[in-house]
A and B are shown apart, each in its own frame.
Chain A
Amino acid sequence: MDKLGSKTIIGASATFTGKIANARVVEVHGKVNADLIAEKVTIGEAGRFDGAIRADLVVVSGHYEGKMQAGSVWATATASISGKLHYETLQMDRGAALNCHIVHNWRAKTDDPEQSNAGNSDVPLPDASNKAKTGTVPSSSKKGV
C-alpha cells in the first residue's frame, strides 16, 4: 500500500461530481466537475476538469474550464484551457489552446496596495472624462449663446 502513496486517480471512463478536500496528488483521466485544492494536479489527454483548482503545479494535457490558481502551469500540446488562469510560471507547448483570462500572479504583489490603487484609478477615469465632457458642453453652448 505504501507504493500507492496518496495519489488519487480518476480513471479514463470515470465521472465525478462533487467536492474534493485534503488532496495532494490528483490525476484526472476521466471527467471531473469539482473544486479542488491540491499540491499537484495532472489532467490527462482524455481528461476533462470543470471547476476551480488551486495547486502548486498543474499539468494540463486535456480540457480544463474554470478558475485556476497555480504556482506552475504546464500546458502540453494537447491542452485546452478556458476560464481564468492565475499563474507564477507558465509553460506552453506548441499546439496548446489557451482561451482564457491570464493573470501573472506574483503572490507578493497581490498583497500590495498598488494593485487596488490601480484598480481604483481605473474607475474614476471615465467619470472624470464624462464630467469634463458635460462641463465643456454647457460652456460651449454658453459661448454659442
Chain B
Amino acid sequence: MLAKSHEQMTNLHEDTTYILGDLIMEGSLDGGNHPVVIDGQFNGDITAPDVIILEQGKVTGAINTQTVVINGYFKGNLVCESLTVTSTGIVEGEVQANALSIDLGAEVIGSISRVNVKSN
C-alpha cells in the first residue's frame, strides 16, 4: 500500500487530487473515481476511493472512503473499508473500519468500531 502511495506521489497524475504545500482548504471535496493525496491542511469532508494523508498533511472533518493511509494527522469521523496508520500517523476521533493496520509508534485516540463498508 505504501509502495503504491509513493508511486502515486511521485508521478503527478491529472486525475488524482493533490493538496500540497502550505495551503489551507476548507469545504467539501469529492475525489470522484480517483484518489486524494493530502500534504497540506484540509478542514471539511472528503469522499474518494482512496485517501492518503502524507506526513505534513493535516485533516479535520469527515472522511468517507475505501482505503485510507494516514502518515500525518487526522481528527474527526472516519468511515472506510481499510485503514492504515503508519508510525508517523496520528488519528483522533471516531473510526469505523473493516480492516485495520496500525504501525508501531502511531497514535490512535478515540473509538474504533468494525463495520463492513460496502464498495460503491
Contacts and interface: CB of A to CB of B under 8 A. Distances in A.
Contacts of A137: none
Contacts, number: 107
B19 A8 contact: yes
Interface in A18-59: 18-24, 29-30, 34, 44
Majority SS of interface residues in chain B? loop
Contact of B30 (A1, A3, A15, A34): A15
A118 interface: no
Interface in A72-114: none
A68 B37 CA distance: 27
Interface residues of A, number: 27
B91 interface: no
Contacts of A30: 17, 32
Given A7-B12, A11-B16, A11-B34, A19 B27 contact: yes
A13 B34 contact: yes
B23 A13 contact: no
A20 B23 contact: yes
Interface string B35-53: 1100110001000100000
A104 to B, nearest CB: 30
A11 B21 CA distance: 16
Contacts of A17: 27-28
A4 B18 contact: yes
Contacts of B39: 1, 4
A8 B48 CA distance: 17
B116 interface: no
Contacts of B33: 13
A7 B9 CA distance: 12
Contacts of B24: 19-22
B23 A14 contact: no
9 closest A-B pairs by CB: A18-B27, A13-B32, A6-B21, A11-B17, A23-B23, A19-B26, A15-B30, A9-B18, A14-B17
Interface of A: 1, 3-24, 29-30, 34, 44
16 contacts: A4-B10, A4-B18, A4-B20, A5-B20, A8-B21, A9-B18, A10-B17, A11-B17, A11-B35, A12-B32, A13-B31, A15-B30, A16-B17, A18-B29, A23-B23, A24-B22
